[in-house]
Structure 1
């Protein structure tokens, strides 16, 4: 079934084409959306063609996704462009890295960087294979994934402190203690309400929950919301998952990461009186079973798009906020 619906919110045009799902709306834009090979459920949440999830195949979900949105902020006007397409084996992204939702003002007092268009290109397998080994990504190790709007996920930072805590830099990773962007109040990276900010090269990127995009997708506590793809080809969802991983009839709950504060603080760590626990990545340790997810913020379970089950990741309100590693073959 093919369906089209229009929401008149302003004179700005957004076009979204999704195979196997329907998108939400973005305030303040006028949105025209067309979904093909799907089922019109009358809902703005992800729905429709679930495809074959046997052996973790993701081949028929969002193989065609095209989003063009005019996005403005003070003194800047850009058009967000994001296109996902598939061939027989690969899901590919071409985008300009401009978000398709309202963002904060950049530069700002804590972030001196100006957002600019980027040359975004990525290709992920349509047949991901889960492994028992976690591969750490992010920063110079490679992007962990992209949100559907073409904005990259990069949960860590390039900031660090030395052991004394007197020499800290938000842009120098050479110190022993890696500074976190979220979940702490010791350092200010100038993130906006989308838990995102701009890197020195002009790239807007998410450190955590992409609230504006989730709202645009119609994400809420009554639905699982697919928001992106990880570098290993597995899907990424926002916040909510089934309370029983393999039971789609179970209640949805807010997923919790399985990281806890370290139990023994190193004597080399900068003073916790100055920098409370949570300021640094090294303050956290994975404790299996303490939350809902594994060390890469993922789990195996059923989703609306994959009713037979698949390994998938979550953006969470708790550390690590977004996956810092992937569990699929690269």
Structure 2
């Protein structure tokens, strides 16, 4: 984020955050790096879990204190001790076939981190989840937090993140509140996930719109997510879930085309019928299951559910209870990306 984005995000609340020392998992990732920048700019001490020396270097360069370890380690409580709040941002976000490793990280990792936070005396936990916990491959239209988790989720990512949510919420008590945030399509400067994948698909000639790509999507600029996390620390109720997004949904094709344009790329006009893509995804999942993971399909229902149908969110609850207001618009975020590309 630019200094302007950080400043706008910092001005989103009238009062300073009530937590002075924050422990963060996933600190070297896209979301984690920006959370560090956001809270350091607010004068808040941040300690971030770092699995490797490289991760520790990234965390330290951003102004946070690295804590070497893994979310699956025993003894995390000693590293978390002395912190007021925990933000759990670490996750295996793979959209391929389900794996035991992904389940272990997302489910067992969440359980161990939250148990360690409780043992360390942390006063509040923010668990970062995803709208994908509701994904089945069918459109999600203007959904809010009352939508039930599906019996048959789209894939391993949706299933394991839904299980992680259940674990997080089950541990929430009046003395140890756990709040869950569900952003959708996180984007912005310093993105090392969605935008690079889109760029690679275009450059490799593998990019195509699904049935024209005119369906709606909600999005979440990284500065808006950081602001929402701060507001959730201050105002989020324990045991509650909040959808986070940039505001009104936008056409998927228009938004992705604009993202690519900021990097000097033009999205191709190729389009594939949705039923065909859905069939390819189903076959891919079947082959992966039959081969017990030896066959890695080019498309899964998990990835289809993320990008092939409308996913639009109602963020009214976050507006009402957290006083959440997006601090960066689509236009501002896209201009920031253009400046980033020009400055590289």
> Same fold by TM (over 0.5)?
no
Length-normalised TM-score, structure 1: 0.27
User: Which one has a larger percent strand, Structure 1 or Structure 2?
Assistant: 1
User: Which one has a larger percent helix, Structure 1 or Structure 2?
Assistant: 2
Structure with the bigger RCO (C-alpha within 8 Å, sep 6+) is: 2
